[in-house]
Amino acid sequence: MSLGNVDPLWLVAGVVLHLCSQLARGRGWFSVLCAAHPEEAQPRRRDVLAAWIAGAGASGVLSARGGDALRIVLMRRHMKTTCPRLVGTLAAETVAETALGALLTVWALSAGLVPGLHRPGLATAALIGAGAIVVVLAVRRAARRFPAVGRACTDAKCGLAVLGRPGRYLRCVASWNVLSRSLRLGSLAAFLAAFALPVSLTAALVVMVAHSSGRLLPFSPASAATSLGLLIAAFPAVTHTHTGAAQLTAFYLGSTGLLTVVGLIVSGLLLVRELGLAGARTATAEALERLRVPRKTPVRVPAG
């Protein structure tokens, strides 16, 4: 497929829906931050949304954890908090997203949307559970032996405070994650239309599953290869079409490349705005300091 056949209006729609999806997740994180800091002034919503969007854009090249690190750095500029507590808030927000992703994957495997793969068996589930228990026990032991680790765990637990109120979590966090997933499906459908591929809810779900499977690998080239391979294997069978590998490759590279570029631009603009305002305030304070008129020192006349 040549780039001349791509519909630019659908591309714009896909980008806008994707950014709205990120804003929805940022709004959920805002609720988590407020619950984790009840004793302090609440963060400004626009600062939280800007930090989330900046982290999402940077994650295109820094990985998801790199994007989270940027969010922590930015929020530390606006809040009196600790890094472990912010890490806890990010973990709390991710619980709903992970649960939705797991439900989507199980549904896709049960419905046969991904040929050749099946639902994980009891042994796999037991292995995952055992691994989680080992990690928890290791962290608890380290917290008892090292006071600094214990303090960090206590702060991180404060960041998870909203999980202790399931009703509030469902209303103020999980609901935004559901909206985010819905907007992401709309974004994927718009990109499918832009590249003249079959558009349906099932097709968009398959693309979402392919993207999610690629995120399991931290190395970007391997992640992209995994997602693209799964998409090429599953899309024609699910949509009952003869969509070729070249078309799907153009769709995947074109949509992900465009979102990466847009994310980097938006993230860069937000960082320039954040750091630029801080630099402007510092420069203004220095200029005012230089303009201050020094007090005159009285002249002493020698006696006699």
Torsion angle in degrees (nearest 10) through CA of 77, 78, 79, 84: -40
The whole-number pLDDT of residue 31 equals 94
229, 274, 273: which is closest to 248 by C-alpha? 229
CA gap 265, 19 in Å, rounded: 12
- The Cβ of residue 293 has, within 10 Å, a number of other Cβ atoms equal to 5
- Structurally, how many domains does the chain consist of? 1
Q: What is the mean pLDDT of the chain?
A: 79
The SS3 call for residue 144 is helix
**Does residue 35 belong to any structural domain of this protein?**
yes
The whole-number pLDDT of residue 262 equals 93
**Does residue 295 belong to any structural domain of this protein?**
no
**Close Cβ partners of 110 (under 8 Å, ≥ 6 residues apart):** 119
Query: 175-194 and 201-214 helices cross at what angle (nearest 10)?
Result: 110
**Does residue 299 belong to any structural domain of this protein?**
no
Global confidence as pTM: 0.79
- The predicted-structure confidence for 124-139, as pLDDT tens digits, reads as follows 556 656 666 666 556 5
**Does residue 245 belong to any structural domain of this protein?**
yes
Q: Quick check: 104 and 210 in contact, CB under 8 A?
A: no
CA gap 261, 91 in Å, rounded: 27
Among 138-142, 198-202, 299-303, which is the least confidently predicted range? 299-303
Mean pLDDT of 170-178: 94
- Rounded to whole angstroms, what are the CA distances from 261 to 86, 203, 220, 253? 27, 24, 15, 12
29, 96, 65, 20: which is closest to 259 by C-alpha? 20
CA gap 49, 22 in Å, rounded: 9
- The predicted-structure confidence for 106-118, as pLDDT tens digits, reads as follows 777 776 665 555 5
Q: Quick check: 33 and 43 in contact, CB under 8 A?
A: yes
Q: Quick check: 74 and 51 in contact, CB under 8 A?
A: yes
- The predicted-structure confidence for 40-97, as pLDDT tens digits, reads as follows 777 889 999 999 999 998 887 777 778 888 899 899 888 888 888 899 999 999 999 8
**Does residue 303 belong to any structural domain of this protein?**
no
**Does residue 145 belong to any structural domain of this protein?**
yes
**Does residue 57 belong to any structural domain of this protein?**
yes
CA gap 104, 201 in Å, rounded: 13
Percent of the chain with pLDDT over 90: 33
101 pLDDT higher than 90: no
Q: Quick check: 108 and 205 in contact, CB under 8 A?
A: yes
- Concatenating the DSSP letter of every residue in 266-287 gives HHHHHHHHHHHHHHHHHHHHHH
**Does residue 300 belong to any structural domain of this protein?**
no
Q: Quick check: 114 and 237 in contact, CB under 8 A?
A: no
- The predicted-structure confidence for 134-153, as pLDDT tens digits, reads as follows 665 565 565 566 566 567 67
211, 183, 185, 179: which is closest to 31 by C-alpha? 179
294 pLDDT higher than 70: no
Domain that holds residue 88: 14-284
